Amino acid sequence: MSSPLLGEFLRSRGVTRRDFLQFCTTTTALMGLSSTMVPRVAAALEQARRPSVIWLPFQECTGCTESITRAHGSTLESLIFQGISLDYQHTLQAAAGDAAERARETAMKENWGRYLLIVDGSIPTGNKGFSTVAGRDNLSLLQEVARGAAAIVALGSCAAFGGIPGADPNPTGAVAVSAVVKDKPIINVSGCPPIPVVITGVLTQYLTFGKLPELDALGRPRSFYGQTIHDRCYRRPFYERGQFADSFDDEGARQGWCLYKLGCKGPTTHNACATVKWNDGTSFPIEAGHGCIGCSEPGFWDKGGFYQPLSTGQWGSARTVGTAVGVGAALGLASAALARKRQKDAEGA
Amino acid sequence: MSLLDFARGPALQWSIVIFVVGVLWRLLGVLLLRTRKDHSAPRKEAAWKGLRLIALRSWPRKEFLGGTAFGEVMGYAFHIGFLLALFFFVPHVLFFADIARGLLGTDLHGLTGLNWPTLPNGVVTLLSAISIAALVAVLIHRIVSPVKRLISNFDDYFSWLVTIAPLATGMAAFAHLGGWPYEQLLAVHLLSAELLLAWFPFGKLMHAFTIFAARGSTGMLFERKGASL
């Protein structure tokens, strides 16, 4: 397949050298690499062939696609994204029906063993009719396309961990990509949706070094998910000082104090929101006044209420503790009575 | 059910139940024992003055300083560090406030209008590290000293283990040790604290409830008999 170099493609789209290097600098920093690596990243990226990418959306809401295509304006991130040879994405592509499926089959055949597979959405394992594409059920389509992929990017929390479709009671039997595909490298780019620059960062890393990034225990790139929101939160000093907002409209909230008591999941959530931010670096949820809901963590939908503080324990009720007091007192009285009887017997003997 | 759900749910509930049942059982069992009537004439009438022994025994005596200084210093270092970390670390305070709200329908702030003070995380980290170091030191001393080794049993070592475990796992969770998911570290920390609660009434940790009562009653007995405190 003829594919121009990424550098040529970006220049043809009017991207200046300055913008390109700025992107490389940001991405290099995000990948946790030294600034001395920027020229290498830039050179590698310029020379990168546009890789063939097949994108399979399954049980999803298109939020992940929205996140990266960024309808509000054309950014370098979206151009980098366009710089890949996206050979199949049924939400974005113009072709439909048989033509679309033929495009996928052709891309798979021509790039067998080399193409990158992006999956967003979870895979239903219950009734095959729950989610279909061109009459094919999601499970068999994923298994077929995964066989020829060099690597798989599970984009968004649904593909990475099952997400909202997998939330209790999980009516469709939704599972993550990793539950279906066992023999291919999988990069989980979680988030609901993931941050655009994290998506392009992962693609850049793959294009630059030709290998997968270092992953954490949950299969997420360590460079983006290595720290918690809490670690890098600008409200952290208030947490340290014990200054918390008790409601969304109290003085603490107005002063920008820590949202821990209002259920912020920042301490348990690994993502780059606090540093990269959203909407061209405008802000992130905590900056907008709402606690983190922990969307990049597995099972975030089922971890109790979004407004329940993390410290909350289901420690039982006053009734349970009251019963324990009763039982303890009864046991104490009984053992004391026994001991007293033994004492008396001993004295009498 | 995830490990964290288990730690926060059933494990927490059961450990609290075991703790409450066990503590009451042992306390009542001891407090309600028959005391023999002392028919002798008291040497001193105001036996309550013997309660001074609680304070006196909490401070080293000059005569024995050489032999007890190490234990005293380490003991204080550990206890102060442990208690400050337990009661003044921000997430702990929030956790206790949550328990109070569940039990009483309100917390300290709701009851009194006062805020429970907290310590900066850095201070708590330092205190925890001091506590751990002191615990390690006393364990080494226990093993190295022939007498202490001889009089030590399973209770001593197990109580030591369940005491250091929440400190170590708490620090690991705070530091996100080894890049493990925070939930797992937090769950392990909670489980270690729950093990401490469950073991508490049945081993030497129970001294937290009995030590002052024991010293007080001994002091009153000594005072009555006219012994020098």
Domain presence at residue A248: yes
Domain presence at residue B119: yes
Domain presence at residue B86: yes
| Residue to substitute from A161, A307, A321, interface B, most B β-carbons within 10 A | A321
Domain presence at residue A72: yes
Of A195 and B156, the structure prediction assigns the larger pLDDT to B156
Domain boundary among A210, A225, A240: A225
Which residues have C-beta within 8 Å of that of residue B12, sequence separation ≥ 6?
A313, A314, A315, A316, B190, B194
**A99 and A200 share a domain?**
yes
- Give the least confident one: B66-80, B119-133, B143-157, B180-194: B180-194
Is B134 within 8 Å of B74 (Cβ atoms)? Answer: yes
Coil, strand or helix at B166: helix
Domain presence at residue A165: yes
Domain presence at residue B120: yes
The answer on pLDDT for A330 being more than 50 is yes
Give the model confidence (pLDDT) of A62-95 as tens digits: 999 888 776 444 455 555 566 677 778 877 777 7
Taking contacts as CB-CB distances below 8 angstroms, the residues of chain A near B113 are none
Taking contacts as CB-CB distances below 8 angstroms, the residues of chain A near B12 are 313-316
Which residues have C-beta within 8 Å of that of residue A259, sequence separation ≥ 6?
A235, A244, A245, A253, A266, A286, A289, A290, A291
Taking contacts as CB-CB distances below 8 angstroms, the residues of chain B near A267 are 182
Give the model confidence (pLDDT) of A204-248 as tens digits: 777 777 778 889 889 999 888 988 898 889 998 888 777 889 899
Position B112 confidence tier, pLDDT thresholds 50, 70, 90: confident
Distance between CA atoms of residues B92 and B226, nearest Å: 46
Q: Is there a contact between B102 and A317 if contact means CB atoms under 8 Å apart?
A: yes
In this prediction the ipTM stands at 0.72
Domain boundary among A185, A206, A225: A225
The pairing of beta strand A149-155 with beta strand A132-133: unpaired
Q: What is the DSSP letter of B206?
A: G
The answer on pLDDT for A1 being more than 50 is no
Taking contacts as CB-CB distances below 8 angstroms, the residues of chain A near B120 are 240-241
Give the per-residue pLDDT at A83.
63
Domain extent for A257? 229-302
**A97 and A153 share a domain?**
yes
Is A86 within 8 Å of A175 (Cβ atoms)? Answer: no
Structural domains in chain B (count): 1
How close, in Å, is residue A152 to chain B by CA atoms? 22
How many contacts (CB atoms, under 8 Å) link A and B?
Answer: 124
* CB nearest to A333's CB, from B28, B94, B120: B28
Q: Is there a contact between B16 and A327 if contact means CB atoms under 8 Å apart?
A: no
Mean of pLDDT values over B198-210? 95
Domain boundary among A225, A260, A284: A225
Domain presence at residue B116: yes
Distance between CA atoms of residues A22 and A38, nearest Å: 9
Give the per-residue pLDDT at B109.
74
Is-cis flag, bond preceding B10, omega within 30? no
Give the model confidence (pLDDT) of B2-59 as tens digits: 787 788 888 988 999 999 999 999 999 988 888 878 888 888 888 888 899 999 888 8
**The dihedral sign for the CA sequence B26, B32, B37, B41:** positive
Q: Is there a contact between A240 and B120 if contact means CB atoms under 8 Å apart?
A: yes
> For chain A, what percent of residues have pLDDT higher than 70?
91
Structural domains in chain A (count): 2
**A236 and A88 share a domain?**
no
Domain presence at residue B212: no
**A99 and A239 share a domain?**
no
Taking contacts as CB-CB distances below 8 angstroms, the residues of chain A near B176 are 228, 231
**A88 and A107 share a domain?**
yes
Position A316 confidence tier, pLDDT thresholds 50, 70, 90: low
**Beta-sheet strand order (sheet of A52-57):** A85-88, A52-57, A115-120, A149-155, A186-189
**A180 and A234 share a domain?**
no
Give the per-residue pLDDT at A91.
76
Distance between CA atoms of residues A301 and A309, nearest Å: 15
Mean pLDDT, chain A, whole residue set: 85
Give the per-residue pLDDT at A72.
46
- Which H helix or E strand runs over B65? helix B65-88
**A140 and A62 share a domain?**
yes
The answer on pLDDT for A325 being more than 80 is yes
How close, in Å, is residue B56 to chain A by CA atoms? 30
Look up the CATH number of the domain holding residue A262: 4.10.480.10
Using CB atoms within 10 A of its CB, is residue B94 exposed (0-12), middle (13-18) or buried (19+)? buried
Q: Is there a contact between B25 and A332 if contact means CB atoms under 8 Å apart?
A: yes
Of A328 and A212, the structure prediction assigns the larger pLDDT to A328
Position A51 confidence tier, pLDDT thresholds 50, 70, 90: confident
**A154 and A246 share a domain?**
no
Domain presence at residue B29: no
Domain extent for B165? 67-200
**A75 and A179 share a domain?**
yes
- Give the HSE-up count for residue A21: Cα atoms under 13 Å, Cβ half-sphere: 6
Tokens at A211, concatenated: 């290998």
The answer on pLDDT for A21 being more than 60 is yes
Look up the CATH number of the domain holding residue A115: 3.40.50.700
Give the per-residue pLDDT at A297.
92
| Residue to substitute from A241, A315, A321, A325, interface B, most B β-carbons within 10 A | A315
**A102 and A193 share a domain?**
yes
Q: State the pTM of this model.
A: 0.67
**A143 and A197 share a domain?**
yes
The answer on pLDDT for A259 being more than 90 is yes
**A239 and A192 share a domain?**
no
Domain presence at residue A314: no
Mean of pLDDT values over B93-101? 80
Q: What is the separation of C-alpha A192 from the centre of its chain, rounded to a whole number of angstroms?
A: 6
Domain presence at residue B147: yes
Mean of pLDDT values over A30-44? 77
Q: Is there a contact between B24 and A328 if contact means CB atoms under 8 Å apart?
A: yes
